Chains A and B, each alone.
Chain A
Amino acid sequence: MERKWRKISGLIGLLLLNFMNNVSSLSLTITKVECVYEIVRFEGDIVSGNFVVVDHHIFWSSDHPGIDFSITSPGGDILHNLKGTSGDKFSFKAPRSGLYQFCFHNPLSTPETIALYIHIGHIPNEHNLAKNEHVDPINVKIAELREALEAVTTEQKYLKARDAVHRRTNESTKKRVIGYTVGEYILLTIASVLQVVYIRRLFSKSVGYNRI
C-alpha cells in the first residue's frame, strides 16, 4: 500500500518535473527592434540565459554602438538593461509569474544575427502546492541537481556561440592575410612597372630636344 502511494507520488513528481523546465535556444536576425516573449509559470523561478551577437568583429568598426538588450517583467518594470553589448549572460529570479519580454534594439540599420538561449528553472517547494500536499524531498533534490546540470548546459551554449564568433574572426583573418598580401605583391609589381614605363617615356625622344 505504502509502495503504491510512493509510486504514485513519484509519478506525480515525475510529471511535475516533466513540465517544469523550459529551454529555448535560437538565433534571430534583428533589423531594428526584436522582442521575444516567454511565459514564467511560477513566481520565484530562476530565469537564466545568454546571448551572443554572431557576426560582429568582422564588420563592426571600432565605433559601432553595439546592441541594446532589455528584459521587461509582466508588470512593466525593466529588470535588466544593457546598452552597447556584443553578448552577455543574465540571470534573475522572477518576481512574479507571467509573460516576460526580452528585447533587442539595433541602433544601426545593418541586420545583426543574435544567438539567444533562455532557461527557466523551477524547483518545487511548499509554496506552490496546496496545504494538504507534501513535497517529497527527493523531488526537490532531483530538481536542484537538474538545475545545476542545466546551468552547465547554459554555460556550454554560451561557449559554443562565442567559439563560433571566434572561428569566424579567425577564418576572416586567414583570408585577409592571404588576400591582402597577394594584392600587395601585385600592386608593388604594377607600380614598379609603371615607374619604368614612365621613365622610358620621359627619355623616349632624343635628349637634345626635351631638356627635363
Chain B
Amino acid sequence: MNKGMVFGGRAACFLPIFLVLCLTRNSNILPVAEAIWLTIPSSGTKCVSEEIQSNVVVLGDYYVIDENNPDHIPTISARVTSPFGNNLHHNENATHGQFAFTTSESGNYLACFWKDGSHQKDSELTLGVDWKTGIAAKDWESVAKKEKIEGVELVLRRLQGIVETIRGNLIYLRDREADMREVSEATNARVAWFSIMSLGVCIAVSVLQIWYLKRYFVKKKLI
C-alpha cells in the first residue's frame, strides 16, 4: 500500500508535467524533439518529399532551431505542393508553422523551405521537420475522449491501427506487383514480336530494293 501511495503521489506529480508537454507540443515553447533535423543552406531551397497514396492524413510541423542567438531567430518560408502542383500550405517569415491536409491524389508531395531575404547571414540554419502520415498522424487523444477508453486499451487500439496499416501496405504492394507483372509480360511479348517483325521488315525492304533496281535496269536497257 505504501509503495502504491508513493507511486500514486509521484504519478500525481508527473501528470501535470506530461499534460503541459502534451499541450505545448505544437508551439515553440517546448518543441518536443521527435523530428528530423535538416540544414537549410544560406542560398537555395531545401526540399523534402514523400510518395503518398490518396486519402491519407498528413500532419506536418516545422520549427527553426538556433542556439546561437535565441532572441533573434532567423525566419524561413515554407511551401507544400501536391503532385498536381496545387499549393497546400504557404508560409513566409516564420520561425515555426504547421500544416495538415488529407491527400486527394496519390503521388509525390513536396515540402520546400528556404531562408528569407531579410537574414542574409552566410550561415546555414537548422530546421526541425516533423512529418507524419497515415496512422502516425491520428489524434489518439480525441479518440480516447470520444470512446472513453484509456490506458492499456487505448494502446492496444493503436497497435490495432498499426496492424491495419501493415495489411493495407501489403495489399498495395501486392497490387503493384500484379501491375508490374503485366507490364513485364507485355514487354516480353513485344520484344519477341518486334524482333520477328524487324526480320520481316528487313526481308521485305531488300526484296523491294532488288525488284525496283531490276525494273530500273530493264528500263534503262542495261540488262
Q: Give residues in A with beta carbon < 8 Å to B.
A: 1-2, 4-5, 7-15, 17-19, 22-29, 35-39, 41, 99, 113, 115, 118, 132-134, 138, 142, 145-146, 149-150, 152-153, 156, 159-160, 163-164, 166-167, 170-171, 173-174, 177-178, 181, 184-185, 188-189, 192, 195-196, 199-200, 203, 207
**Contact of A25 with B7 in the complex, beta carbons under 8 Å:** no
11 contacts between A and B (CB under 8 A): A19-B21, A23-B136, A26-B49, A27-B50, A146-B162, A149-B159, A156-B166, A163-B176, A177-B190, A188-B198, A189-B201
Chain B stretch 95-146: residues in CB contact (< 8 A) with chain A? 108, 126, 129, 131-133, 136, 140
13 other A-B residue contacts (CB within 8 Å) besides A146-B158, A153-B169, A160-B51: A7-B150, A12-B11, A13-B151, A19-B21, A27-B51, A39-B37, A163-B177, A163-B180, A164-B51, A177-B191, A181-B197, A185-B198, A192-B209
**Contact of A159 with B49 in the complex, beta carbons under 8 Å:** no
**Other-chain residue from A10, A24, A149, A189 in contact with B36 (beta carbon distance below 8 A):** A24
Known: A38-B36, A149-B163, A163-B173. A134 touches B213 (CB 8 A): no
**Contact of A5 with B152 in the complex, beta carbons under 8 Å:** no
**Other-chain residue from A146, A156, A200 in contact with B169 (beta carbon distance below 8 A):** A156
A-B CB contacts (within 8 Å), total count:
169
Q: How far is the CB of B112 from chain A (nearest CB, A)?
A: 11
**Contact of B7 with A132 in the complex, beta carbons under 8 Å:** yes
Interface centre among B15, B37, B173, B208 (most CB of A within 10 A): B37
Least CB separation from B154: chain A residue: A14
Q: How far is the CB of B178 from chain A (nearest CB, A)?
A: 11
**Contact of B166 with A24 in the complex, beta carbons under 8 Å:** no
Quick check: is B24 within 8 A (CB to CB) of the other chain?
A: no
**Other-chain residue from B12, B173, B183 in contact with A159 (beta carbon distance below 8 A):** B173
List, in ascending order, chain B residues with CB within 8 A of A99's CB.
Answer: 37
Complex alpha-carbon distance, A14 and B151, angstroms: 6
**Contact of B15 with A142 in the complex, beta carbons under 8 Å:** no
List, in ascending order, chain A residues with CB within 8 A of B6's CB.
Answer: 132
Known: A10-B150, A149-B163, A163-B180. A27 touches B48 (CB 8 A): yes
**Secondary structure of the B side of the interface?**
helix
**Contact of A9 with B187 in the complex, beta carbons under 8 Å:** no
Complex alpha-carbon distance, A198 and B32, angstroms: 78
**Contact of B169 with A149 in the complex, beta carbons under 8 Å:** no
**Other-chain residue from A25, A195, A200 in contact with B216 (beta carbon distance below 8 A):** A200
Known: A19-B34, A36-B37, A149-B166. A11 touches B7 (CB 8 A): no
**Secondary structure of the A side of the interface?**
helix
Quick check: is B55 within 8 A (CB to CB) of the other chain?
A: no
Quick check: is B38 within 8 A (CB to CB) of the other chain?
A: yes
**Contact of A174 with B186 in the complex, beta carbons under 8 Å:** yes
**Contact of A192 with B206 in the complex, beta carbons under 8 Å:** yes
Least CB separation from B50: chain A residue: A26
**Contact of A142 with B159 in the complex, beta carbons under 8 Å:** yes
List, in ascending order, chain B residues with CB within 8 A of A25's CB.
Answer: 50, 131, 133
**Residue-by-residue, is B14-46 near A (CB-CB < 8 Å gives 1, otherwise 0)?**
110010011000000000111111110000000
**Contact of A145 with B159 in the complex, beta carbons under 8 Å:** yes
List, in ascending order, chain A residues with CB within 8 A of B129's CB.
Answer: 26
Least CB separation from B172: chain A residue: A160
**Other-chain residue from B36, B159, B173 in contact with A37 (beta carbon distance below 8 A):** B36
Quick check: is B217 within 8 A (CB to CB) of the other chain?
A: yes
List, in ascending order, chain B residues with CB within 8 A of A9's CB.
Answer: 7, 11
**Contact of B150 with A133 in the complex, beta carbons under 8 Å:** no
**Other-chain residue from A13, A36, A166, A173 in contact with B187 (beta carbon distance below 8 A):** A173
**Contact of B213 with A196 in the complex, beta carbons under 8 Å:** yes
List, in ascending order, chain A residues with CB within 8 A of B156's CB.
Answer: 142
**Other-chain residue from A5, A8, A156 in contact with B173 (beta carbon distance below 8 A):** A156
**Other-chain residue from B4, B48, B176, B177 in contact with A2 (beta carbon distance below 8 A):** B4
List, in ascending order, chain B residues with CB within 8 A of A11's CB.
Answer: 15, 150-151
